[in-house]
Amino acid sequence: MGIPTIRMKLKIKRAYEKPEGDDGIRILVDRLWPRGLTKEKAHIDIWLKEIAPSTSLRKWFGHDPANWDEFRERYNLELKNNPEQIIALEEQLKNNPVTLLYGAKDEKHNEAIVLKEFFKNKLNL
């Protein structure tokens, strides 16, 4: 019954963007804190660094769009093997609007996009 509302409650944006009233719980999904961003300006409620891609996967990807498809596959596999972090994020989604925050400059090739797709597929949205 609550599943259709989850679709509308999950969005993504760069951590550097100003917070908006409809952001809900702002969750940083990067393993590293975004460069030059203070905690005061970030308005981050939760930092789920363990849900981020592993350090080795992040370095391999290097934000190279040519590696995007394989990165998505590898990261999805990591997510499937990380149930504690998935449950933590699902718990937030049950009761709150959630905005996944990332630091990358590339708005089309980053882990927040993969996470959003993962949850859309998991919840059959």
What token pair was written down for 38?
């203070």
Q: How confident is the model at residue 99 (pLDDT cuts 50, 70, 90)?
A: very high
Q: Quick one: 81 exposed, middle or buried, by C-beta within 10 A (0-12, 13-18, 19+)?
A: exposed
Query: Residue 2: what pLDDT?
Result: 45
DSSP string, 77-118: HHHHT-HHHHHHHHHHHHHS-EEEEE--S-SSSSHHHHHHHH
Instruction: Give yes or no for residue 28 having a pLDDT over 60.
Output: yes
Instruction: Give yes or no for residue 58 having a pLDDT over 70.
Output: yes
